[in-house]
Amino acid sequence: MIIDCHGHFTTPPATHTDFRKAQLARSADPDLPEPVLAHASDDEVREAVETNQLRLLRERGGDLMIFSPQASAMEHHLPDPEVARTWARTCNDLVARVTDLFPAHFAGVAQLPQTPGGEITDAVAELRRTVSELGFVGVNVNPDPSGGHWTAPPMTDEYWFPLYEAMVELDVPAMIHVSASCTPAAHTLGAHYLNADTSVFMQLLQGDLFGRFPTLRFVIPHGGGAVPYHWGRFRGLADRLGRPPLAEHLMANVFFDTCVYHEPGVRLLLDVIGTDNVLFASEMLGAVRGVDPTTGHYFDDTKRYVDAILTEPAAAQAVFERNALRVYPRLAARLS
């Protein structure tokens, strides 16, 4: 089975995006009426998925996508907790409809109602709802709800512990995923995402989070940001800071995906990190959707890169299937 661990619903029905526009308008002008979500029919939801993510999944040889709301549209930088709660619930309920309509092809991952400086209790409640009621298999956690200003405590801070306790209890992993950048100095897709991936890895290196939560699991997307390319720097910093070697300090709990959009980058990722800690992913219809003029193939057809690099069947199976089932045990239980 080919499992893509990183997909977003970037093509939702118009009723969904219209609701968000109305919600944002009312946030700017409280005199406007409370927005009401117009119901999208099952046919509208099917069309939004079948002509986009599901079509490409089939064309490129994939079987199942771990699916979450659109990351850049989470917009956690908005300070109103009620807006965040309503928007997260709306987005998660829409993803649940996709997983109900296409249970063989999609498994849900939750968006959390995070806000800058907000309490973590709302996030814990939505995590529990989506796992217990909607059957979701994981969660996306934004380490920087401020959108590039980094006002949140590091992910090793006690602030996050109630969320981690719930993740451990429910046995679900978190993908580390920021939302839109609020500073022109950091482009959302080309800088902010990769900055966050790299920054969180360094936070984990500096702390001892997995000593306290030994079964906690994180997927750092986009190939781990700068981490694999600078693996020697991080190994050296671990030594300089008196931390254990990375293999024993972090790599039983931290995994990277293959959302790296050229073959040399995926090769470096697999060579440096190894096949036990890499999960196949494409983030298709995400940041990079066009055709690479040097190859004639889509940048985000990442299966093509992995196929060219991993010719040994056991290694390929680990990246395409086995690691995902190990990191997402609720998905494994669902499939079995």
**Cβ 160 vs Cβ 127: under 8 Å:** no
Q: What is the amino acid identity at position 315?
A: A
Q: Out of 126, 158, 248, 283, which one is annotated catalytic?
A: 283
**SS3 (DSSP) at 138:** strand
Helices (H), the chain: 14-28, 42-50, 53-59, 81-101, 121-132, 161-170, 193-206, 209-212, 231-240, 246-249, 263-273, 302-309, 313-317, 323-327, 329-335
Respond yes or no: is residue 263 known to be catalytic: no
Structure-block tokens of residue 77: 């930088």
- DSSP character at residue 274: -
Q: Cα-atom radius of gyration of the chain, to the nearest Å?
A: 19
Q: List own/partner pairs for 285-288 with CB under 8 A and 24 or more apart.
A: 285/8, 285/10, 285/11, 285/52, 285/53, 285/56, 286/8, 286/10, 286/71, 286/259, 287/189, 287/190, 287/193, 288/189, 288/261
The span from the CA of 146 to the CA of 187, in Å, is 14
The span from the CA of 20 to the CA of 26, in Å, is 10
Report which of 313, 301, 221, 236 is spatially closest to residue 269, judged by C-alpha positions: 221
Structure-block tokens of residue 61: 């040889």
Positions marked catalytic: 283
